[in-house]
Chain A
Amino acid sequence: MPLLNVTGLSVTLSTADGAARAVRDMNFSLEKGETLGIVGESGCGKSITALALMGLLPERSETTGKIEFNGENLLQKPETEMCALRGNRMAMIFQEPMTSLNPVHTIGRQVMEPLRLHKNMTRAEAKAEAVRLLDRVGIPNPQERLGNYPHQLSGGQRQRVMIAMALSCSPDILIADEPTTALDVTIQDQILELIQSLVREEDMALILISHDLGVISENTDRIMVMYGGAAVETGPTETFFEALSHPYSQGLFAAMPKLGMGRTSRLMTIPGVVPDLINLPSGCTFTDRCPLATAECRNSAPPLRQLTAGHNVACYHLDKARTMKAEGLFA
């Protein structure tokens, strides 16, 4: 039995302009200790997927499908049981370390809280554990830092504190939603490495979400590319980068900063914008931006098809995409 098994997950958000189909028919599973990267441009439904897993979607939303975690369907769990899971068996790190800590409470209090809440630790026990955790995530002088307020810490340090909080109860799964996007480039790698080493140490499963294929490439076992609220390509990270089958995956790859690339060279971006989730086009949602699109793509959405073991792609024109890859689809 996998740790996490998501089947047919769909999320519809009601907005002022209408129903936005933010996530459509997602299927994936995650074993204990496995790391999955979810990648896609901004607005593809990555965060909504993560929030659905945590049961933290906005009130005005509808979720269908199944999210089985340790064999239990989270979508059928009452809120009190979800509270007991969150921060305890499943934890999440957010994009904005500058605003993810409560400005009126000390660092110490905030790191101690999950321990007091889920592990029933006494104040003294929680304090000792908080010092150990802060030290583990690389905060210098953790003892003194306990009394600091968030505004006294840098962005990188705050993200370290967030990581300490998320990992305090040794969850089975950690969801990191763009954990380094808001940080200085020089700190990004340190934070990713920290997450990576902690996850390995504790044999935790990790879902790492990023709009940057580069971040995902170095830190995951498997990868899932999302576009317009649905998965368009998924597979083992190595296979994925060898194949780069879906035109959108190729676009993301072309848009990724690469080693040895001069500072001045401009990054390619995929022309066009992500689809409007309220008025989704029929057929493949990437049609409008895809150089290979044909009438067939417009008429019906291609299903995910297996190419090799565990490697699935949703595209009608895989052969053409493969032959054109060398010269660059978006060149």
Chain B
Amino acid sequence: MNSSTSLSFLARCRRSRSFMVGGVMTGFLLVCAAVSLFWTPGSAYDISIANRFLPPSSTHWLGTDQFGRDIVSMLMTGTQNSIAVAVVAVSIGLAVGVSLGLLAAARRGWTEELIMRFSDFSFAFPAILSAIMITAILGPGGVNSILAIGLYNIPVFARLVRGTANAIWTREFVMAARASGKDRFRITFEHIMPNILSIIIVQATILFAIAILAEAALSYLGLGTQPPHPSWGRMLNEAQALMFLDPWQAIYPGIAIATAVFGLNLLGDGLRDVLDPRLSRKR
């Protein structure tokens, strides 16, 4: 890394409290998701009326829900679901949005104008609202909610990348690179990209949190992940009617969502410190 401080990358990681705490929270969720792929303490799917509303026990650590499904297992499978949706959605945004942003900055003129007007247009709607609109058009379902969130991420990345890339394009080393005969594409990949990478990574982390939140919201509204596949949003929805009967049913997925969003935001903040010490000092 191009840090002017003598601290190594790892030392800076260790010194950033947000990075450590956010990293642990995010790491915990990743482990839960990974484990749920081949093992859960109970079943997240099997309905058993006899086992409804069981209190926490050694077999059901957090008890069971109104259909007798194991809550820990549902939460774990839900984590896997949230992360999968967010990974794909953020990747769509990254691939398309970053390319568009880089293209806008490299070509300027009408190309930039067109890309930015498109971004403005999609920016006029808040994340959740645009996701709802898109799923309303495409129809509810897991894949469509991924698409909806991914589409929302495209202009976010496009704008950020175009703005920061434009700033890099005016730097003298870019002029020097042009004077050495490099064309716009070469400059984009060799000079623009490496200098905006850390900002992209930080933004991707934050958008990952927003994607998880959006997935939960869509599923809560019945537009996202469909039954019987567990999702934090649907768990919240199903718990809503039971708020007074068994409030824990809502609290558990709520904590899961909060952990993910808070952890990822902390991680993003920490990454900002770690990846670009110059940025963090200015704040």
Question: Which A residues are within 8 Å of any B CB, using their own CB?
Answer: 54, 56, 59, 79-80, 83-88, 91-92, 94, 96, 99-105, 113-114, 117-118, 149, 151, 162, 165-166
Number of A-B contacts (CB under 8 A): 72
Nearest chain B residue, comparing its CB with the CB of A55:
B178
B residues in contact with A99, CB < 8 Å:
171-173
Supposing A59-B108, A59-B109, A104-B2 touch, asked if A94 and B175 sit within 8 A by C-beta, the answer is yes
Determine whether the beta carbon of B176 is less than 8 Å from that of A86: no
What are the interface flags for B242-272 relative to A under an 8 Å C-beta threshold, 1 for contact and 0 otherwise?
A: 0000000000000000000000000000000
Can you list 23 A-B pairs with a CB-CB distance of less than 8 A?
Answer: A56-B175, A80-B183, A83-B183, A86-B180, A87-B179, A87-B180, A91-B179, A91-B180, A92-B179, A94-B172, A99-B172, A100-B172, A100-B173, A100-B175, A101-B173, A102-B173, A103-B173, A104-B2, A105-B194, A114-B181, A151-B4, A162-B176, A165-B176
Determine whether the beta carbon of A88 is less than 8 Å from that of B181: yes
In the assembled complex, the Cα of A105 lies from the Cα of B177 at a distance in Å of 12
Q: Which 6 pairs, one residue from A and one from B, show the smallest C-beta to C-beta distance?
A: A87-B181, A87-B180, A86-B181, A92-B179, A99-B172, A100-B176
Supposing A99-B173, A151-B2 touch, asked if A85 and B181 sit within 8 A by C-beta, the answer is yes
CB distance from B196 to the nearest CB of A (A): 10
In the assembled complex, the Cα of A117 lies from the Cα of B183 at a distance in Å of 11
What are the interface flags for B162-192 relative to A under an 8 Å C-beta threshold, 1 for contact and 0 otherwise?
A: 0000000001110111111111001000110
A residues in contact with B4, CB < 8 Å:
151
In the assembled complex, the Cα of A293 lies from the Cα of B90 at a distance in Å of 67
Nearest chain B residue, comparing its CB with the CB of A113:
B180
Check if B240 is an interface residue, CB within 8 A of chain A.
Answer: no
In the assembled complex, the Cα of A117 lies from the Cα of B177 at a distance in Å of 11
Contact of A96 among B172, B194, B195 (CB under 8 A): B172
Determine whether the beta carbon of B2 is less than 8 Å from that of A149: yes
Determine whether the beta carbon of B183 is less than 8 Å from that of A102: no
Determine whether the beta carbon of B182 is less than 8 Å from that of A117: yes
A residues in contact with B191, CB < 8 Å:
102
CB distance from A134 to the nearest CB of B (A): 16
Nearest chain A residue, comparing its CB with the CB of B1:
A104
CB distance from B217 to the nearest CB of A (A): 38
B residues in contact with A151, CB < 8 Å:
2, 4
In the assembled complex, the Cα of A101 lies from the Cα of B108 at a distance in Å of 23
B residues in contact with A86, CB < 8 Å:
178-181
CB distance from B275 to the nearest CB of A (A): 12
In the assembled complex, the Cα of A102 lies from the Cα of B2 at a distance in Å of 10
A residues in contact with B176, CB < 8 Å:
92, 94, 100-101, 162, 165
